[in-house]
Structure 1
């Protein structure tokens, strides 16, 4: 059966309804009968591509018979009884002649009656001779079961001797008063107790009891109370309209004014008056709130049996080119098939900020990792929406004791070189790299770099420094100091291509170096001795 999707307007999409949804509007008998699993789809694709190979059928080998009877089970000897071997007529005749020596063969044969011919007079045939007088059937069986009498005749004959049956069999007619032998002055037969019931000789109340014209649960209640409850209490599937005011407005109309969120919230009122509220931060918190509610619903769905791997395989199947992206129309249709509903306005805005949605396409793998509570959550950097001069405040106590003049060393690094550089920005794993290459290796990348350190290791550089995202100014200054020159707008073209490759908003040194070899030749860094002699 089709569900109730699209039949009602959800005025509070944030509030989740109780229970499980009954289905979608696309669930019908035709789609249900055509449903097949992903394995069947793969099998059909292999058949169409003529790459299907079936294993040759080999009949199961028959086990040899058990020689030792000690190892036989209790039910192994029933097979020859159910399916006995074929025997010749001579063998069957010999077995029957052997059985004639027993008296049970003549007196108690299996599957048939005893032979009475030897005990009867000579010349008597039991199949032809019968004893007694034949029975004359005067009344046919049809009239005996269903006699041709009117209902009045049947009722009249049933009342013959009815008074006698009252005493012997305690038989009374329906609605007949029981006679217990009470005497008349103290007891009156015509006297009734209670209130007379409401009835009609036409039998209309029986029809109302069998088929009630109002298809609602019938219960005993006061009409005044029932009308009051129907008027003031909301009913399932109906709009509460005490004075039928819903009929005076267009369909889908809502009452009241829309509550707008004030521009200055509690957090903004506690800040300095010179700091304007950050609208993006407020909207970003709203998007994160919608995402957390959506993840909690998906967590419950996972407990009820939803599989994220199955959903990823379905999305991977629709990605024919294996680009990792799906159009939003196809992806939303896939979500509706799996009954995944979320506020699109908030989630789409967040996906665009995180780079998961680009040009009406969604990176379905990152989206599934985002909504899966078992995956590592995304770490967001703190938003610096307050200027530096308004970030710190001096209390009256600090001002009186000059405590604000104490140097703050909280932002300075500790002395020495840590074994694991947690003070540096964690590099992003390249698309073709492995996260294990960057974890649990300390300050060095491999064992070879410890035994035979390179020039980068001697200067304190590791692979993390080459894969750390950096700004455009840092990259340009670094490569210009090496000796590269960027004529015209060549740097901007390489930078845009690097941003699309890393997908972090910034570009690492390794990516920019690999792209630079395509457009600009490397500079001549080594010094030739002949050039030095010419200068001298």
Structure 2
């Protein structure tokens, strides 16, 4: 169907073609005169700038003709270009213009160098400059820089170096200059009260933002103090995430005890350093603590012995911190620190491995064999056993060095059935299959939602009907023939499938 010309002008005005000018339907059938019209005055082509800047050279004949035309001018006769004018018409006849000179001969006495910079010393130049200075003051007012004018007043009543008059107020910070830079009416406007419309002021106070204040349009309707906070105050729990994981009892919560734990850790670190620097073995360090008080050699360290050992190590702590340190080291809560607890909490057991003769002393409880020179310095051991044989373990699997086992605090023991997801995934034997891994986020292939029948151009979602990188690098036989995944998953009628 063809649009009638009568209706097409209305259609082209509302929906013009791409790249075409929108023409009002009232002048759609008017003759097109405007495209052929030219406005203004046609410019005439003048001499090009290239010819003016760099003209073509003229011939010799043209130059002679030009000089002949310009010779009639008086300026050309008096001041020709590039040479002096001919002065012969104004001179007497018969005068030798080449050898005749006029005036008095100049006698060359001094050079300009000697006049500007004479070969004299500074003292001679200074004395010559001072000579006759008083005469030059009278004749030429030749004063030195900063020299005061001598007015020859009566010296009995006036001295030239005295100061007269009232001192002028002066401030180095420029406050007087600052006053001169402000007009009087500006200062009066600052002092005067500013008249503002109450309606405008109320509007700004209610709806305009202010620096450092929260915009609250309904503040005038709230009969509450300015520092009022709405909602329930959520108080933090007395236990933290670590307390829940380790299943600590209410009296063993560690939340809010960071400063207390830091002080205990600092004291323990200082004692560890003192023990490692002053003793060769764990046994020697333990005996030093055990013999610190009147009870010597009882095989355990009480609180008094720990305090005396701390004082000897220049670690002065108060009673409360001492109780916290002793409570931290005493795992079995018997009021004493045995050898195993001492090795775990007050010494670097990994840096001082257990020696063979030391092992015999702490297990057998007998006196060491002094025939061995390595054991000659070890003092007589206690009659009681310090540790049990099962408390001694290998430092590393396959190593011959031995050390004491690591103690676990009762509050840090985790439930037997507690396992993390990462430990189950990273396990080698009985690992969780990859299909059981927890999946988070939106899947890359949205097979969980149906693909739309008509997709938008901006829709980049993969609904599972497209191939992946493997199908692009290794296309199937169907793909080579032009059949892809969307063709297989397309819904077809029974008649189309049969054919």
TM value normalised by structure 1: 0.24
**Computing the radius of gyration over CA atoms, which structure comes out larger, 1 or 2?**
2
